[in-house]
Amino acid sequence: MKYTCPHCGNKTFTPLRKALCGGLSSSGKPCPECGGRCVNGKLSLLVNTVLRLTALIMIIRIYFKHTTLTEVFWYGVVPMIAAYVIGFLFDMFFGKLTEAIKRQ
């Protein structure tokens, strides 16, 4: 399974390479064929923002309400790790690649 480069239109990006392209503020990864830099698009930015904001709210909730180590683990560490993993999987399989705006 390969994904299409927005510059040349060829299917050159594997899911792992696509997930490692970065967001709109990064310089992106170059296409193996044409050399054009690609990043994950606006939908990826939106999904990652919502996931990480939810994890932040859970961490703030822990700070004020929970004191046991198990509660800290389940309501703080697990949502934070889940936000990063779900965002990475979204970038791998569902988001679209766009042309990088930032110059290297």
**pLDDT tens digits, one per residue of 10-42:** 999 999 999 999 888 888 899 989 888 999 999
Model-wide pTM > 0.75: yes
Q: Give pLDDT, residue 70.
A: 85
Question: What is the rounded average pLDDT of the residues 37-63?
Answer: 92
Nearest to 89 by CA among 16, 26, 24: 16
Domain boundaries, the chain: 3-99
Give percent of the chain above pLDDT 90.
58
Burial of 98 (0-12, 13-18, 19+ CB in 10 A): middle
Cβ-proximal residues to 10 (8 Å cutoff; 6+ apart), any chain: 4, 31, 33, 34
